């Protein structure tokens, strides 16, 4: 079955150490009892996984025989087990004399007392944190089948929508039924809303009289429009005319509204009825008394009226007298009440008083009034809120005329109202109101509906996920950081149960075999190694539980381990370089076997290798390479050797700051025996300087030198040894006490080598005429190709090439052997030819959220690139940096992209991926899509804060001082910042070695005349990162020796042409060294080393080493007027106008008391050293800081320089910056000249605040120190 890709539960995780899920799969497969092949491609954690395998086996009570392929492999496992804290499990047969003692002490081990409370709590917290983060990411990216959307895709959609120039702004959220309708009919709904927008449904109709009209069909619209036209043209004009005539005829006040007109008509109708019964005189006075008189007793009591009977009779008679002759009244009381009401209305409408009069044509008046009321009532029914009857007649006429004339609105109003009604019925009322309020146009409808849909689905999904709803961006960042912290802490706890299980198994076994245990212990104590074979055969289980993991070479195993299935597990490694037959005798000693090796390599180079045969029959567990740390050059080289599918190229933030290729000008004559030019002095010097530079700048990283030439390796080994003899600091780095000590090997010895950095030196030079000989010795053999791949594979982080054979010079197209062809490809790639080793931005869209983040970073003044990395390799979603930083990029932004979501292991995606980039120099910012959407400003601020921290960290990095070494460095031909810079070494013994910086700065061609060239993108003197320094030249304060072979931009690129580097002799010794009389580094080595070192020690702190007793100038030092060559122009100062003699242990300083400088006789060095000029006697200084003189400037820390400045200032003498610089130079014997060195020293003075402002030489005369 396929290996489990998910993280294991903490309590179920096997083995020990920090293992990846694929590595745990191998451990679990072996724990199941199956024999397997473990494929260990380059970059895999082979040793670490092996340690986990044996730890798990030991914890399970199994015995293990580990048969290493090399002694270095055995040492690597021993060191790894010791690092894990599992050293007590091992029995290392490399120390055969100590085996018996180790077995005896193994039977006495006791498990330490441990409190598991903290471990259990840690595991519980890890399970919780993993679960929460996994649930959050799953909820964020899981596609909901109902909506076919995830929260992540919705955030991306929302980000796109809201980032538009005219972004939609709707805040409406639909309920489930409306949202389902929109989901199912999105195109139809969009079309309906667009149609409504075209009909003006969302535009406020302030200027339309039909605004809000409830007309939902064309017929209703036609009828309403017809009524409006009839009212406007026929009815209302007639009504208004009749009202005017009636007023003129009756004296009534003209009616203002239709309501008034209706009241007047009603009054006139009532008067007409009353006059049919009564005489007109009935209206002369109030009829109220007659109403009371004719009322019934009940009515009077109900209304509170009292009247005597005689009065009632009189008034009743009076009322009857006012009746028309012949008229009758069925109810006199009611008719009188009508008269009274009509009289009151009349008086209200007729201010002149008098008897009521009836106009002519009452029937026609009533007809038009009724028609008007009916039509107006119908019109009001479709105009909600309209009170037409109460409007003044003039305004009413204008209104209905406007209605009649607005046919355009009426043409679209029915369909618009029909759509509006449909929208509300389908649940889109909120959308309709929002669109109407904001007057949404047709062009905006689609985006607005998209926003409504996305927001509504988002709300639905988030509402069903409590963790999404409650987790803030800050909380999410804390959760991810907690997972990383807890997971890392958990891996450190795995060794405790392993140790406890091993001790428990041992104690149970020896308790069950007490007598045998005592006998075994006694025999081992008495006979030691001599009894081993017998006790191993006699007491197998006891010796196995005492130390369950035996590291035993095959030859020793054959002697001590019985030829039978004696151990539970036998592990053999590096079987890609072994044949099958020799392994059988070892593997038969185990009941289960594990074969480890590089399967791909074996299949490519040796089909008959043991690992190939085992892989045909046994299951193969391939170890991952995601934690490989190869630089671009090594990774690309290995990918082309068959590892493209397993080894990814990872972009580095350190790009451009370290050299990949150092080309020296190493020439000589062929060796008569080998036919090769091996170990030229220029290349040896360059390698030594690179070693010194590494020891100075990166002592915490392990280093190895691998040479193609065996003779070259021998020379380098001797040169480094001589240099280390006089430098305790270098000696400590090169010592063998470290886990991975420094070593110098040739190609045949590189198998299994692993170091943080590897210097691959070719060691083959060119003829004196610049020709390349096609004689490559071991490199041309099949083993040479394997060794070259081993050398490249050995470098975990950095591979540096040192060679005299430049890009394109080998001429591989004329060669058939693969070794030299591969070497040329490596050199070419290191120089940036053929294959680009620089990561780049692909331009692929990384999504709107990350795109917005990049834009915000850029708007803050930084640079940002998207999808940065390598094709077929690792690509970072966003990188950020600034052009002022070497290499530009510093911060990598990781997000929950597709790669992150598809990776089921939180350990990989949330820790290993981050650590992988951090090891490549990146500051990593982890963000998530929800954080980018909710808090885009905060996420941008996190990136900018990381950038500020990166810039601050680089500004605090100790300055690496360039060492100038040719006329190419003078101010006349260089800018203020040189194109190349060197990192000086800082070892006391450097003065004795005489090493020159062949690899760090251009050589002056005065002595050698050798042509040289510049290697693009690989030259060590890049402005971004200086190269290694000339340790000897630093100590003696001189420039680089002529003829050292460092690249230069002035010479021909093909390396051909006459060579006069040998001086007048014109010949070069067979070993490639420079003949006597030339200014070669070799002239400073050998016999002078001891004398110079002694002189350096005798000079004491703060003083320059004294010259040899005879005072004679030494070869290569170049005295004025002698044939040693002109002084290095770079040492003449920043202006380049004055020159000084080259300085060294055999010369006096060019400046200082008692010496003549290049500018004139000896004089005082500066203020404070001439009491008369400064107007006082300097105070005695206190104890001098313990800072050694004679080292390069880069060797001093900021604190040391500050201490020296304060000590110089303690004499009370007033000094300007230049005087302080001169004083520091003298106290620390800094003889190098250059604008960068001066700038650094002046910066130290400025930081101290002790210098007096002013020009050098006259600053603050007679004044005291600045407070």
887: nearest Cα among 652, 650, 629: 652
Q: Tell me if residue 571 falls in helix, strand or coil.
A: strand
pLDDT of 957: 52
Q: Judge whether 615 lies within some domain.
A: yes
Domain boundary, last residue among 921, 955, 989:
955
Q: Could you give the CA distance from residue 982 to residue 980 in angstroms, rounded to a whole number?
A: 7
569 and 647 together in one domain:
no
Q: Is 195 exposed, middle or buried (0-12, 13-18, 19+ CB in 10 A)?
A: middle
The band of 945, judged by pLDDT with boundaries at 50, 70 and 90, is: very high
pLDDT-based confidence at 524, cuts 50/70/90? very high
Instruction: Assess if residue 1191 is contained within a domain.
Output: no
More confident residue, 386 or 958: 386
| Pair 873, 862 in one domain | yes
Residue 1212 vs residues 1063, 1171, 1181: alpha-carbon distances, Å: 53, 11, 9
104: left (phi over 0), alpha (psi -120 to 50) or beta: alpha
Q: Which is nearest to 1244 in space by CA: 1226, 1263, 1225?
A: 1225
Does residue 154 carry a pLDDT above 90? yes
Q: What is the pTM of this model?
A: 0.66
The CA dihedral of 104, 106, 108, 114, to the nearest 10 degrees, is: 170
Is residue 758 in a domain?
Answer: yes
620 three-class SS = strand
364 and 254 within one domain: yes
For residues 677 and 664, the answer to whether their CB atoms sit within 8 Å is: no
Q: Determine how many CB atoms are found less than 10 A away from the CB of residue 861.
A: 9
Is 1066 in contact with 729 (CB distance < 8 Å)? no
Tokens standing for 1054?
């093909």
Question: Would you say residue 1207 lies in a domain?
Answer: no
As a whole number of angstroms, the distance between CA 479 and CA 473 comes to 10
Q: Is residue 1214 part of a domain?
A: no
Dig out the tokens for 355 from the structure. Answer: 């008897």
Residue 1127 pLDDT: 36
3-state secondary structure 58-73: HHCCCCEEEECCCHHH
> Nearest-CA neighbor of 598 among 773, 461, 793?
793
**Strand, helix or coil at 932?**
helix
What are the backbone angles phi and psi of residue 982, rounded to the nearest 5°? -120, 150
Domain end position, chosen among 606, 622, 638: 622
Whether residues 850 and 881 fall in one domain: yes
Tokens of 836: 């680009």
Res 835: pLDDT: 63
Q: In what helix (H) or strand (E) does residue 1239 lie, and over which residues does it extend?
A: helix 1235-1248
Domain harbouring 594, CATH code: 3.40.50.300
Contact 1048, 1015 (CB under 8 A): no
Residues 6+ apart with CB under 8 A from 977: 1023, 1236
If asked whether residues 471 and 520 sit together in one domain, one would say no
pLDDT at residue 175 is higher than 90: yes
Give one DSSP letter per residue of 613-631, joined into a string.
HHHHHS-EEEPP-TT----
Asked if 744 and 690 sit in the same domain, the reply is: yes
128-137, 596-605, 699-708 — which is least confidently predicted? 596-605
Question: For the chain, how many helices (H) and strands (E)?
Answer: 49, 21
1129 is a domain residue: no
The answer to whether residue 1081 is domain-embedded is no
Stretch 842-870: mean pLDDT: 93
| pLDDT for the residue 1080 | 35
Q: In this predicted structure, what is the pLDDT of residue 1234? A: 64
What's the mean pLDDT when you consider all of the chain? Answer: 78
Whether the per-residue pLDDT at 670 is higher than 70: the answer is yes
pLDDT per position as a tens digit, 54-99: 999 999 999 999 999 888 899 999 999 999 999 999 999 999 999 9
Last residue of a domain, one of 419, 448, 483: 483
Instruction: Note whether 622 and 21 are within 8 A (CB).
Output: no
Please enumerate in sequence order all residues whose Cβ is within 8 A of that of 41, keeping only pairs 6 or more positions apart, or say none: 598, 599, 600, 622, 623, 625, 643, 646, 647
Domain at 939, CATH number: 3.40.960
Q: Which two tokens stand for residue 1047?
A: 């690249």
Cα(220)–Cα(968) distance, integer angstroms: 96
968 and 924 within one domain: no
Asked if residue 67 lies in contact with residue 553, where contact means CB atoms within 8 angstroms, the answer is yes
Domain count, the chain: 5
How far is the C-alpha of 891 from the C-alpha of 288, rounded, in Å?
Answer: 102
Q: Do 703 and 810 have their domain in common?
A: yes
pLDDT, average across residues 477-494 = 95
Which residues span the domain enclosing 887? 840-955
Q: Is 610 in the same domain as 659?
A: no
Look at residue 85 and tell me if it is in a domain. yes
Q: Does residue 169 sit in the same domain as residue 232?
A: no
d(CA 135, CA 114): 33
Each residue of 724-740: pLDDT tens digit? 887 777 888 887 767 78
Looking at the structure, do residues 436 and 572 belong to the same domain, yes or no? no
Q: Are residues 769 and 854 in the same domain?
A: no
């Amino acid at each position: 079955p396929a290996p489990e890709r998910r993280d294991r539960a903490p309590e179920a995780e096997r083995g020990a150490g920090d293992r990846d899920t694929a590595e745990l799969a191998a451990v679990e497969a072996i724990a199941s009892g199956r024999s397997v092949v473990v494929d260990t491609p380059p970059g895999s954690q082979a040793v670490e996984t092996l340690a986990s395998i044996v730890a798990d086996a030991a914890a399970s009570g199994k015995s293990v025989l580990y048969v290493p392929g090399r002694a270095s492999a055995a040492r690597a496992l021993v060191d790894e087990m010791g690092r894990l804290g599992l050293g007590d499990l091992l029995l290392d047969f490399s120390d055969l004399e100590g085996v018996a003692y180790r077995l005896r002490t193994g039977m006495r081990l006791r498990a330490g007392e441990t409190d598991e409370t903290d471990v259990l709590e840690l595991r519980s917290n890890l399970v919780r944190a993993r679960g929460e983060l996994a649930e959050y990411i799953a909820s964020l990216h899981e596609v909901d089948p109902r909506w076919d959307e995830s929260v992540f895709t919705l955030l991306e959609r929302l980000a796109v929508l809201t980032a538009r120039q005219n972004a939609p702004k709707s805040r409406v959220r639909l309920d489930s039924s409306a949202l389902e309708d929109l989901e199912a009919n999105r195109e139809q709904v969009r079309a309906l809303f667009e149609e409504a927008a075209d009909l003006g449904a969302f535009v406020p109709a302030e200027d339309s009289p039909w605004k809000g009209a409830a007309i939902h069909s064309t017929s209703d619209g036609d009828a309403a429009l017809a009524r409006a036209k009839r009212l406007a043209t026929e009815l209302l004009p007639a009504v208004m005319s009749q009202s005017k005539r009636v007023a003129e005829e009756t004296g009534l006040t003209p009616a203002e509204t239709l309501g008034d007109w209706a009241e007047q008509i009603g009054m006139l109708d009532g008067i007409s009825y009353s006059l049919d019964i009564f005489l007109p005189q009935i209206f002369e006075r109030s009829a109220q008394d007659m109403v009371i008189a004719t009322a019934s007793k009940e009515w009077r009591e109900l209304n509170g009226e009292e009247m005597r009977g005689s009065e009632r009779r009189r008034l009743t008679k009076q009322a009857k007298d006012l009746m028309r002759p012949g008229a009758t009244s069925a109810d006199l009381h009611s008719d009188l009440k009508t008269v009274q009401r009509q009289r009151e209305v009349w008086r209200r409408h007729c201010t002149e008083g008098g008897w009521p009069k009836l106009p002519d044509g009452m029937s026609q008046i009533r007809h038009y009034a009724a028609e008007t009321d009916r039509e107006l009532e119908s019109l009001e029914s479709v105009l909600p809120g309209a009170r037409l009857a109460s409007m003044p007649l003039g305004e009413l006429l204008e209104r209905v005329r406007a209605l009649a004339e607005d046919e355009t609105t009426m043409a679209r109003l029915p369909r618009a109202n029909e759509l509006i009604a449909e929208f509300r019925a389908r649940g889109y009322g909120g959308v309709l109101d929002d669109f109407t309020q904001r007057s949404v146009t047709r062009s905006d409808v689609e985006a607005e509906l998209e926003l409504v849909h996305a927001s509504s689905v988002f709300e639905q999904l988030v509402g069903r996920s409590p963790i999404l709803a409650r987790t803030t961006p800050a909380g999410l960042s804390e959760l991810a950081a907690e997972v990383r912290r807890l997971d890392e802490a958990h891996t450190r706890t795995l060794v405790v149960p392993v140790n406890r299980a091993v001790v428990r198994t041992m104690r149970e076994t020896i308790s069950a075999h007490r007598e045998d245990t005592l006998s075994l212990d006694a025999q081992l104590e008495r006979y030691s190694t001599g009894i081993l074979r017998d006790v191993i055969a006699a007491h197998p289980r006891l010796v196995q539980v005492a130390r369950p993991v035996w590291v035993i070479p095959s030859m020793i195993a054959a002697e001590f381990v019985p030829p039978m299935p004696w151990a539970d597990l036998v592990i053999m490694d590096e079987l890609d370089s072994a044949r099958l037959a020799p392994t059988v005798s070892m593997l038969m000693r185990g009941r289960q076997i594990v074969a480890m090796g590089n399967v791909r390599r074996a299949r490519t180079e040796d089909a008959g290798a043991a690992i190939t045969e085992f892989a045909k029959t046994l299951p193969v567990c391939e170890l991952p390479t995601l934690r490989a740390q190869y630089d671009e050059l090594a990774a690309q080289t290995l990918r082309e050797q068959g590892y493209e599918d397993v080894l990814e190229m990872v972009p580095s933030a350190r790009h451009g700051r370290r050299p990949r290729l150092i080309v020296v000008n190493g020439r000589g004559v062929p060796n008569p025996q080998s036919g090769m030019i091996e170990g030229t002095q220029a290349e040896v010097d360059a390698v030594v300087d690179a070693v010194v530079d590494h020891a100075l700048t990166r002592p915490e990283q392990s280093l190895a030198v691998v040479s193609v030439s065996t003779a070259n390796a021998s020379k380098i080994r001797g040169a480094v040894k001589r240099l280390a003899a006089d430098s305790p600091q270098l000696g400590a780095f090169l010592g063998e006490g470290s886990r991975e000590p420094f070593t110098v090997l040739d190609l045949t010895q590189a198998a299994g080598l692993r170091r943080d950095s590897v210097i691959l030196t070719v060691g083959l030079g060119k003829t004196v005429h610049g020709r390349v000989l096609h004689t490559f010795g071991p490199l041309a053999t099949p083993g040479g190709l394997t060794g070259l791949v081993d050398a490249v594979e050995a470098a975990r982080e950095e591979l540096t090439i040192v060679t005299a054979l430049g890009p394109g010079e080998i001429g591989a197209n004329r060669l058939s052997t693969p070794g030299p062809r591969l070497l040329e490809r490596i050199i070419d790639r290191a120089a940036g030819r053929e294959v680009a080793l620089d990561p780049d931005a692909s331009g692929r869209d990384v999504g709107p959220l990350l795109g917005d983040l990049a834009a915000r970073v850029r708007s803050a003044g930084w640079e940002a690139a998207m999808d940065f990395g390598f094709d077929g390799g690792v690509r970072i979603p966003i990188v950020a940096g600034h052009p002022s930083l070497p290499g530009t990029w510093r911060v990598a932004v990781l997000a929950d992209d597709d790669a992150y979501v598809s990776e089921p292991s939180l350990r990989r995606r949330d820790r290993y991926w981050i650590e992988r980039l951090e090891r490549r120099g990146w500051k990593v910012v982890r963000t998530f899509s929800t954080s980018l959407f909710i808090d885009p400003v905060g996420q941008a601020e996190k990136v900018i804060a990381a950038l500020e921290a990166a810039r601050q960290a680089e500004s605090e990095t100790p300055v690496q001082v360039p060492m100038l070494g040719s006329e190419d460095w003078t101010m006349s031909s260089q800018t203020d910042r040189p194109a190349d810079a060197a990192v000086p070494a800082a070892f006391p013994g450097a003065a004795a070695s005489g090493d020159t910086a062949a690899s760090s700065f251009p050589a002056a061609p005065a002595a050698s005349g050798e042509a040289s060239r510049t290697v693009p993108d690989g030259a060590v003197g890049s402005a971004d990162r200086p190269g290694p320094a000339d340790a000897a030249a630093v100590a003696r304060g001189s420039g680089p020796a002529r003829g050292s072979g460092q690249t230069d931009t002035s010479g021909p690129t093909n390396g051909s042409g006459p060579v006069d580097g040998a001086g007048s002799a014109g010949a070069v010794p067979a070993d490639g060294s420079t003949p006597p009389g030339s200014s070669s580094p070799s002239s400073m080595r050998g016999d002078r080393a001891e004398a110079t070192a002694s002189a350096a020690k005798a000079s004491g702190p703060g003083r320059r080493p004294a010259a040899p007793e005879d005072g004679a100038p030494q070869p290569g030092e170049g005295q004025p007027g002698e044939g040693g060559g002109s002084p290095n122009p770079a040492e003449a100062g920043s202006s380049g106008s004055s020159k000084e003699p080259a300085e060294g242990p055999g010369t006096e300083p060019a400046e200082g008391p008692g010496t003549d400088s290049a500018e004139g006789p000896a004089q005082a060095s500066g203020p404070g050293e001439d009491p008369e000029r400064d107007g006082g006697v300097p105070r005695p200084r206190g104890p001098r800081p313990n800072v050694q003189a004679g080292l390069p400037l880069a060797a001093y820390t900021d604190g040391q320089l500050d201490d020296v400045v304060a000590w110089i200032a303690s004499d009370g003498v007033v000094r300007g910056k230049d005087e302080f610089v001169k004083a520091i130079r003298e106290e620390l014997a800094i003889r190098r000249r250059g604008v960068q060195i001066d700038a650094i020293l002046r910066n130290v003075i400025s930081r101290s605040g002790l210098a007096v402002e002013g020009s050098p030489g006259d600053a603050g005369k007679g004044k005291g120190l600045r407070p």
